[in-house]
Amino acid sequence: MKADVVPLIVAALVFFSSLVSLKLGLSVAIIEILFGAAAAHFGLKAEDWMIYVANFGGIILTFLAGTEIDARLLREKFKETFLIGFLSFLLPFIVVFLFTYYIAHWSNRASLIAGTALSTTSLAVVYSVLVETGLSKTHVGKMLMAATFITDIGTALVLSVLFVKPTIYTLVFVLASVAIIFFADRFSRRIFRHPLLKNKVIEPEIKYKFLLLIAFMSFANLGEGHAILPAFVLGLLMSKQFHDASESAVIRNRLKTVAYAFITPVFFIVGGARVSLSMITASMGLFAVLFGLKILSKFGGVYFLAKKFIPHGSMYTTLLMSTGLTFGTIASLFGLNSGLIDRAQYSVLVGVVIASAVVPTFIAQKWFLPVHSEDIIETNREGRLDETPAVVPQALS
């Protein structure tokens, strides 16, 4: 396929994904992933510019997810979200590792890569779905995003401790991330409220956010790390500004518009294009078993706690926490590039990751989407968060 045709094809996939999503009533992220996988089967290859835009899209989604977190709810519900998120990571990691090492006879380090890749929950998928369904500002949505963050922290720590060899550049990445977060936390409010920047069509505030996120990516590449964690922390610290100031909220909505128009669709399309359908077909039995293990172990780690702590959205929470994409693909790609897994193992793992982004999301949206109202979270006179029984599972026709 000629390189000059690729942008046209990608633009067409982005547009038609939106139409199909509206027609079927499904998350556009699912459609974009499926379109990406189909396009790759017919010869579309992700070019360098697509990979960079996709990586940037994942960082933007992570940052935006951080801005949606209610810091007060996170503090008040830390035990609940930590337990759900930690078991969501730990149980799949152990189950997949034991299966691939003792049953599939993968090497020790390849099995660790498999356990890491399939223990993840995709913050990007979870956030996109919650925004599209209007659940991001509800109790269910905020608890879900907080628990997802805990899961991905576990994945990031395991990937760093077990496989990444720290260098002086790793330290540079960490120090630079801390410095950027400190600067942004102290001075972003002043930048957003500066009279010269208000209501400008050139959108300097959005460009400022892009600068911060691209700086994270640049230092992450230098230190052989990933910018997801600092991007989420930055979003989390800035969430108070977005909730407290209407001007900042407007800026966030503009950023969503810019990101969802093209940047994040490329992220999902490239994610789907990473799958080799022929290699998955050749290992269909292993693919099916690993997919089943991921889903069942996620169910065991999440559902019973979610039923206790998020009773009006327990199955929805369990299904969305079974999704994978960003970190799962990163862990698999790291294993391939490091020679810890081969191409066939990589394709199976990424195939499972992509399938877990599509199947649980489809089921959650089709049959377990909570019905929500504006009073799901209320602030009473004492300033505490009260839950109301306004969320009930309802099948969608």
Per-residue pLDDT, 391: 42
Across the range 274-303, mean pLDDT stands at 93
Is residue 265 included in any domain, yes or no?
yes
Q: Using the predicted structure, report yes or no on whether residue 37 has a pLDDT greater than 50.
A: yes
- SS3 (DSSP) at 47: coil
User: What are the tokens at 183?
Assistant: 């600067």
Is residue 310 included in any domain, yes or no?
yes
Is residue 233 included in any domain, yes or no?
no
Tell me 227's DSSP state: S
**Spatial separation of the C-alpha atoms in residues 349 and 290, rounded to whole Å:** 8
Is residue 45 included in any domain, yes or no?
yes
How buried is 359 (Cβ within 10 angstroms: 0-12 exposed, 13-18 middle, 19+ buried)?
middle
Is residue 238 included in any domain, yes or no?
no
How buried is 2 (Cβ within 10 angstroms: 0-12 exposed, 13-18 middle, 19+ buried)?
exposed
Is residue 236 included in any domain, yes or no?
no
Per-residue pLDDT, 388: 39
Per-residue pLDDT, 397: 29
Rounded to whole angstroms, the maximal C-alpha distance in the chain is: 64
Per-residue pLDDT, 256: 86
Is residue 166 included in any domain, yes or no?
no
Per-residue pLDDT, 243: 58
How buried is 246 (Cβ within 10 angstroms: 0-12 exposed, 13-18 middle, 19+ buried)?
exposed
Q: Using the predicted structure, report yes or no on whether residue 387 has a pLDDT greater than 60.
A: no
Closest C-alpha among 336, 353, 346 to residue 279? 346
Per-residue pLDDT, 389: 39
pTM above 0.85, yes or no: no
Q: How many CB atoms lie within 10 A of CB 286?
A: 21
Per-residue pLDDT, 199: 61
Is residue 95 included in any domain, yes or no?
yes
Tell me 390's DSSP state: -
Which residues, including other chains, have CB under 8 Å from residue 354's CB and lie 6 or more apart?
A: 33, 37, 271, 272, 274, 275, 325
Q: Using the predicted structure, report yes or no on whether residue 384 has a pLDDT greater than 50.
A: no
User: What CATH number does residue 254 fall under?
Assistant: 1.20.1530.20
Per-residue pLDDT, 378: 40
Instruction: Give Cα 34 distance to the centre of its chain.
Output: 17
- SS3 (DSSP) at 353: helix
Q: Using the predicted structure, report yes or no on whether residue 225 has a pLDDT greater than 80.
A: no
**Spatial separation of the C-alpha atoms in residues 202 and 295, rounded to whole Å:** 45
In total, how many domains does the chain have?
1
Per-residue pLDDT, 376: 41
Average pLDDT, the chain: 84
What's the one-letter identity of residue 16? Answer: F
Q: Using the predicted structure, report yes or no on whether residue 299 has a pLDDT greater than 70.
A: yes
Domain encompassing residue 306: 6-59+75-152+244-379+389-393
pLDDT digits (tens, 9 = 90+) for 111-142: 999 999 999 998 888 988 998 888 888 888 98
Q: Using the predicted structure, report yes or no on whether residue 16 has a pLDDT greater than 60.
A: yes
Contact 159, 144 (CB under 8 A): no
**Spatial separation of the C-alpha atoms in residues 383 and 187, rounded to whole Å:** 27
